């Protein structure tokens, strides 16, 4: 955590953002009730890291680009880099990360990652924009990793909380395989009944649940009939749900990209979910969090 968080607010919501990693640190309602993780170090001290330039783990924490190996920590390096404030008002904030000598040693591309936060009424809108400022096509992926309170502060027990998807989600899901952090090649039956998932701590004993055949681009989190969160992710086709079993949060992670499959040993261009950004092009990924009655 850096020394100075940056804050934006409306009458309905307040957000605090750490420039280190451009990480959403806190989201509270009009009464000051916390909607995010308590970050108990017994479980996990993260809040909402940004996943760039890759989502998930590369096999052996190394990826291959055009025949050369490069080091890459799980979920990339953006979450450990300081972002520079570019613009700020009472209700909005723009932070920026640009390639430097350190980043180029692991990822030899001239990128820019802009992270915009804006509060509009009861909605926090987050938009990440990746720009290729170099002269060669750039492989990348991007993901969000926010940890929301479980339980939310509106009554009802842990067992009463539901993830309700925008659409029914019958397709099989993925899980982490027998190589640490890598995705199993086999699929598993969906735990969603119609459009509703009833999460339990036991579901996450094998790590994350991963949807790579997802129909929805929106879901709600909380106790039906009570205030809860609607989470919209129009630009990310995949989704991970994760927690350390027993912790007081559920990570709702919209992804455009994914970890290596178990046994993957190919070039990064062959990795599932890798996107290509041509020189001069940009691509944005939005995630909205709305407090609804």
pLDDT band at 31 (very low <50, low <70, confident <90, very high): very high
* Residues 211, 187: Cα–Cα separation, whole Å: 10
Residue 83: DSSP 8-state? P
Task: Using the predicted structure, report yes or no on whether residue 1 has a pLDDT greater than 50.
Answer: no
Q: What is the mean pLDDT of the chain?
A: 97
Is residue 268 within 8 A of residue 106, CB to CB? The reply is no
Task: Using the predicted structure, report yes or no on whether residue 2 has a pLDDT greater than 60.
Answer: no
Q: Domain spanning 6-153+240-292 has what CATH number? A: 2.70.98.10
Please list the alpha-helical segments (H only) found in the chain. 101-106
Per-residue pLDDT tens for 253-282?
Answer: 999 999 999 999 999 999 999 999 999 999
Per-residue pLDDT tens for 70-93?
Answer: 999 999 999 999 999 999 999 999
Distance of CA 287 to the CA centre of its chain: 9
Backbone angles phi, psi at 111, to 5 degrees: -100, 165
Q: Comparing C-alpha atoms, which of 148, 288, 276, 161 is closest to residue 225?
A: 161
Is residue 50 within 8 A of residue 78, CB to CB? The reply is yes
Average pLDDT for residues 148-173, to the nearest whole number?
A: 98
Note the pLDDT of residue 3.
Answer: 55
Average pLDDT for residues 31-36, to the nearest whole number?
A: 98
3-state secondary structure labels for all residues of 208-234: CEEECCCCCCEEEEECCCCCEEEEECC
Average pLDDT for residues 196-221, to the nearest whole number?
A: 97
Per-residue pLDDT tens for 103-137?
Answer: 999 999 999 999 999 999 999 999 999 999 999 99
* Residues 240, 231: Cα–Cα separation, whole Å: 13
C-alpha distance across the termini of the chain, in Å: 32
């Amino acid at each position: 955590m850096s020394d100075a968080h940056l804050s934006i607010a409306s009458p309905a919501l307040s957000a605090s953002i750490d420039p280190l990693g451009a990480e959403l640190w806190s989201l509270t309602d009009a009464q000051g009730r916390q909607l995010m993780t308590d970050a108990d170090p017994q479980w996990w001290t993260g809040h909402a890291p940004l996943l760039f330039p890759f989502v998930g783990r590369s096999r052996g924490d190394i990826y291959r680009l055009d025949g050369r190996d490069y080091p890459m920590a799980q979920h990339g390096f953006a979450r450990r880099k300081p972002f520079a404030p570019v613009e700020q008002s009472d209700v909005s904030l723009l932070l920026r990360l640009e390639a430097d000598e350190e980043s180029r040693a692991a990822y030899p591309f001239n990128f820019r990652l802009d992270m915009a936060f804006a509060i509009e009424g009861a909605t926090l809108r987050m938009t990440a924009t990746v720009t290729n400022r170099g002269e060669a096509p750039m492989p990348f992926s991007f993901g969000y990793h926010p940890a929301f309170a479980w339980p939310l502060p509106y009554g009802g027990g842990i067992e009463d909380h539901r993830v309700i998807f925008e659409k029914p989600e019958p397709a099989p899901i993925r899980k982490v395989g027998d190589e640490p952090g890598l995705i199993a090649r086999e699929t598993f039956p969906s735990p969603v009944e119609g459009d509703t998932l009833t999460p339990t701590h036991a579901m996450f004993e094998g790590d994350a649940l991963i949807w790579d055949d997802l129909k929805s681009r929106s879901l709600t989190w909380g106790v039906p009939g009570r205030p809860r969160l609607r989470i919209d992710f129009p630009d990310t086709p995949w989704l991970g749900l994760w927690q350390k079993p027993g912790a007081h949060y559920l990570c709702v992670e919209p992804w455009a990209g994914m970890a290596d499959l178990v046994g993957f040993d190919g070039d990064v261009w062959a990795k599932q979910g890798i996107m290509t950004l041509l020189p001069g092009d940009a691509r944005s990924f939005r995630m909205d969090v709305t407090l609804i009655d």
